[in-house]
Amino acid sequence: MERKLMLFFLIQTASAASFDIQFLVSYGIQSLPEYTDVLFVDDIIMFYYDSISEIGEPRQDWVRTIIKEDPQYWEPQMELSKQCHLSMKATAESFKLPANQTKVHVIQQILGCEVDDDTKEITAFNHYAYNGEDFISFDFNTKTWIAHHPRAKTIKEQWDILYESNKERRNFALIIFPLWLQIYLRYGNSTLHRKDLPSVSLLQRTPSSSINCHATGFYPEKAIIFWRKDGEEIHENVEHGEILPNLDGSFQMSIKLNASNIPLKEWGRYDCVFQLSGVQNDLITRLDKDVIRTNWKEGEENLSVTSIAIIATMAVLTVLIIPIIGFFAYKKKKAAEPLNTQ
């Protein structure tokens, strides 16, 4: 199993065991703090800091335990965030493109290391993105930078000659980060290794609607769900849903299959598969009419259509009758008026 320590872009894909940190610097976006950093362990937020409050917030009970048992841990963490803010601000200035190209500047950084549990091999990485584009990354073997954007070539030349800074950057990722990871895994073991399988149900609103394979109560959120036919994953007539959080901290997700053109006798060839990261066995739910849950009652669809037809008919009659009633009322009123003999 691999352990990761990461500083990542806003859109993240992490492994089953990871330590993630996010740094974000933004300019010209009033709704966001200028600087934000968030530490993750296995996609779980453990620490949050931004440049408005300048006060870090532990987000897990086991992080509060670390602070309680080791008060000296917290101060360096706060100081690191403040220093990173200044560093990222200076980096943002050096990255800026000509002012007439954009007024909004956002820097996102991925910084981290990956530790293999078996071999103890450590792989470090440090990437920057600028305004949503891959910009520059650090090569930990050569202790030099790799430009991924034409504008980054000048930055590479400036940063390559910062030998001491690059050496410290390498040591921090290969020595300090793995030590942090060991501490976090020790204190947060029960949470970080938690694996909760979901309950999976087949849901259908009406006999003509799609069949929804719904999984809820799983943890962590690193999971996939898909429909397959004869053991092969299918994509046609399939609609994927998003992973959503539950109030208890677990997650839910669903995937729909339009089975309207699938003969009932062939339903047995289809099944819904749920896979949770770190769990070997899949949860497989066979497509079976008898296990589908629905609130629909026999005749409900026809009744609904009939009701709509009746309402439409009544509306048309109303439109026609009101003018007729008005016409006869007018004639009756005219008949009651005295004749004008002049």
Q: What per-residue confidence (pLDDT) applies to 307?
A: 43
| Residues 50 and 166 occupy one common structural domain | yes
| Residues 132 and 273 occupy one common structural domain | no
Average pLDDT over residues 165-175: 90
| Residues 31 and 147 occupy one common structural domain | yes
- H-only helix segments in the chain: 61-69, 74-95, 152-160, 163-171, 177-187, 189-192, 300-336
What is the CATH classification number for the domain harbouring 256?
Answer: 2.60.40.10
Q: What per-residue confidence (pLDDT) applies to 270?
A: 97
Compute the CA torsion angle 93, 99, 104, 109 (nearest 10 deg): -30
Which residue is associated with the tokens 């949860």?
283
| Residues 10 and 123 occupy one common structural domain | yes
Supply 59's token pair.
């987000």
Which residue is associated with the tokens 């970080």?
192
Share of the chain above pLDDT 90, in %: 35
Asked if residue 114 lies in contact with residue 126, where contact means CB atoms within 8 angstroms, the answer is no
Range of the domain at 257: 199-293
Query: Confidence class of residue 291 from pLDDT cuts 50, 70 and 90?
Result: very high
Asked if residue 127 lies in contact with residue 109, where contact means CB atoms within 8 angstroms, the answer is yes
Q: What per-residue confidence (pLDDT) applies to 104?
A: 59
| Residues 227 and 265 occupy one common structural domain | yes
Asked if residue 216 lies in contact with residue 250, where contact means CB atoms within 8 angstroms, the answer is yes
| Residues 158 and 204 occupy one common structural domain | no
Query: Confidence class of residue 12 from pLDDT cuts 50, 70 and 90?
Result: very low
Most confident range, picked from 47-51, 129-133, 279-283: 279-283
Number of structural domains the chain divides into? 2
DSSP character at residue 196: B
What is the CATH classification number for the domain harbouring 117?
Answer: 3.30.500.10
Most confident range, picked from 68-72, 153-157, 296-300: 153-157
Strands (E), 152-280: 199-203, 211-218, 223-229, 232-233, 238-240, 244-245, 251-257, 270-276
**Is the model more confident about 29 or about 282?**
282
| Residues 61 and 161 occupy one common structural domain | yes
Average pLDDT over residues 42-61: 84
Which residue is associated with the tokens 């968030």?
38
| Residues 162 and 205 occupy one common structural domain | no
